[in-house]
Amino acid sequence: MPHLLLKQLPRYECLLEAAKEFPELDPSAAEAFLHLLRTGDEAFGITDRNLGDHGISHGRFGVLMLLWRSVQPRAAKLMGAESCALGPRTPAELADAAGVTRATMTGLIDTLERDGFVKREPDPVDRRMMSVRLTAKGEKFLAQFLPGHFKAIAELMSTLSESERKTLVRLLAKIQLQAAVLQPKPDGVAASSIG
């Protein structure tokens, strides 16, 4: 489910008013910020409801998508590199790629395995590690689910022209960059420099 967010955003005049008491409050910054949170939450909610109708959570879906890359060697071949395919396989890699803790990934894999979407297999070399792979059922689920998922996304964004989408991505990327500057992560910052 989406985060708790105020349903009706404060009006711009109210922000101006509040700024008189709080000099730190930048009205246009706050307005943009609130719209960003609200819209992001709305977009999240749409896919989340879509996923919920299929009995799967956003977290589980993310894991399936990560694993799904590994069974799509065609793209890798065409790209002439491993940039797109050969995704993560072990719980630790999956947790890192998904941005959750290993403990959370254990829980996600637990439920996915219980529902038959993925399967754990011990690594023959390093006995500490497990290898997680998509089952036929998991692949089938994605094949059935993804078209509707992509369609929902395309419909949501259909209100923006190509150039508007480019502008949006550019502005959001600037914010992301700024967030990275303001909140430098402990390590591995340089590794994933998605602009």
Which one of residues 35, 54, 58, 140 is an interface residue with DNA (CB under 7 A)?
A: 58
Q: Which stretch binds DNA (CB under 7 A): 24-32, 89-97, 155-163, 165-173?
A: 89-97
Question: Residues 47, 153: contact at Cβ < 8 Å?
Answer: yes
Which one of residues 86, 103, 136, 169 is an interface residue with a second copy (CB under 8 A)?
A: 169
Which one of residues 54, 137, 140, 165 is an interface residue with a second copy (CB under 8 A)?
A: 165
Q: How far apart are CA 43 and CA 53, in angstroms?
A: 16
Distance of closest approach, residue 34 Cβ to DNA, in angstroms: 16
Angle formed at CA 57 by CA 53 and CA 61, multiple of 5 degrees: 105
Nearer to a second copy, 122 or 189 (CB): 189
Give me the residues paired with residue 132 across strands: 120
Q: How far apart are CA 157 and CA 151, in angstroms?
A: 10
Question: Residues 40, 168: contact at Cβ < 8 Å?
Answer: no
Report residue 28 as tokens: 């246009």
Q: Which does 134 bind (CB under 5 to 8 A by kind): a second copy, DNA, none?
A: none
Does residue 47 bind DNA (CB under 7 A)? Answer: no
Three-class DSSP category at 122: strand
Distance of closest approach, residue 96 Cβ to a second copy, in angstroms: 7
Please, which of residues 85-144 interact with a second copy by CB under 8 A?
Answer: 96-100, 104
Q: Tell me phi and psi for residue 130, to 5 degrees.
A: -115, 155
Nearer to DNA, 30 or 112 (CB): 112
Report residue 96 as tokens: 């890192």
| Residue ranges that bind DNA, judged by CB under 7 A | 1, 3-4, 57-60, 90-93, 99-111, 120, 125-130
